[in-house]
Amino acid sequence: MLANAFHMFSRSLRVRTKGFKEYKGDAYQICEQIIANCWNGEFFQASTGHFSQFWCRDFGMQVESLRKLGWKSEVRKTLEYAVNTFARARRVTTTIDHGRLFEFPSFAPDSLAFLLLSLSVAKQKKLVMEHADFFQQAISDFVARVINKNTSLVREHVHFSSMKDHAIRSSSCYDNVMAAIVARESKKLGIQCSYVFPKKLFLRSFWNGSFFQDETKLPTVIAGDANVFPFWSEVITKKSMCCSSIRAMQDAGLDKPFPLKYTAHPPKHGLIWQSVFAPNYQGTAIWTLLGGCYLRMLKQVSTSEFNAACAQYASIIEKHKTFLEVLNPDGTPFKTAFYVTDEGMLWAANFLALRG
């Protein structure tokens, strides 16, 4: 972990001196080059910058897009690399750093969720069957560790890492969506899973009539991840609810100046201690990973708004000549005394695939 922190800080010094690596062409040509550079011959890295590792969630959110863009073989090889590495270690983690497994900052329910989703989308059931015992163990461990056996929702008052990994939340909406994915994709892949996601209870607990709450204990907070992933994952498919969540996010300003922020105001939940090195990293800053998933939602409900948001993204990509990780609320690249936003993100795949 210390080595990764030093790597991030060292890169930040280089970027402050030399700037970001620039790519030639329009937004779509830039994205194509970035994706090619994220393929290292063995697996897809999360970025060409300091996140040059395999990340379950980052990859999992891009698998469908990567396949659509013609990278089917590379997706398969990445999954073989990930599954073989996890199976040898007998555990699934957020990250594989060129063979070394680690969590940041704690156990993350979405690691297994996105691994299973990736395997399902990539039609890699054979690979799953080759490691059937491992996956059976991983799912059983997940249920025992994550799920409250009395409610079948995610345990409260336990700090699980997630997409918003600086946050300390209690049974978040996002984590419960990840539990739903584990139950659904296990069944698709032919792995026995005793867990049944309680969809009705989930809706009663998190849907307030207009949008999904981030946590049941914070009913007035509207968060980007809580209102994107129930629909992006197709755990919830009702179009009227999707439209309502989009309008609520827009009314809160999460899509301003372009999508998408986690929250419109500083978060009310706790933060891990490492957040002191990057204040507001996952507060009102703009995340392009979240934005790409939001754009897919938007495409389904409003062509004009989708086209306008894509034009904004194209403008930002062409301005910086790369695909940045996170930007300040005013749209400038995110920087602190210790951290500079990563660049050349694999997340460009979602933006590029939406063009078709």
Number of domains in the chain: 1
Q: Is residue 5 a part of any domain in this protein?
A: no
Per-residue confidence (pLDDT) for residue 289, from 0 to 100: 98
The dihedral of CA 263, 268, 273, 279: what is its sign? Answer: positive
Structural domain of 270 = 18-353
Per-residue confidence (pLDDT) for residue 3, from 0 to 100: 66
Per-residue confidence (pLDDT) for residue 111, from 0 to 100: 98
Per-residue confidence (pLDDT) for residue 227, from 0 to 100: 98
Joined tokens for residue 105: 């900052």
- Asked if 264 and 285 touch (Cβ cutoff 8 Å), the reply is no
Q: Is residue 190 a part of any domain in this protein?
A: yes
CATH code of 39's domain: 1.50.10.10
Per-residue confidence (pLDDT) for residue 1, from 0 to 100: 57
Q: Is residue 289 a part of any domain in this protein?
A: yes
Joined tokens for residue 99: 């063979």
Per-residue confidence (pLDDT) for residue 270, from 0 to 100: 82
Q: Is residue 239 a part of any domain in this protein?
A: yes
Backbone angles phi, psi at 114, to 5 degrees: -75, -30
- Asked if 287 and 224 touch (Cβ cutoff 8 Å), the reply is yes
Q: Is residue 301 a part of any domain in this protein?
A: yes
Separation CA 142–CA 109 (nearest Å) = 7
Q: Is residue 3 a part of any domain in this protein?
A: no
Span between the terminal Cα atoms of the chain, in Å: 39
Cβ density class 306-341: b for 16+ within 10 Å, e for less = beebbebbbebbbebbbbbbbbebeeebbbeeebbb
Per-residue confidence (pLDDT) for residue 308, from 0 to 100: 97
Q: Is residue 119 a part of any domain in this protein?
A: yes
- Among 20, 46, 52, 35, residue whose Cα is nearest residue 319: 20
Q: What is the mean pLDDT of each run of 10 residues along the chain (356 residues)?
A: 67 88 98 98 97 97 98 98 98 95 94 98 98 97 97 96 90 97 98 96 97 86 95 98 98 97 85 80 94 97 96 97 97 94 98 90
Per-residue confidence (pLDDT) for residue 2, from 0 to 100: 55
Q: Is residue 235 a part of any domain in this protein?
A: yes
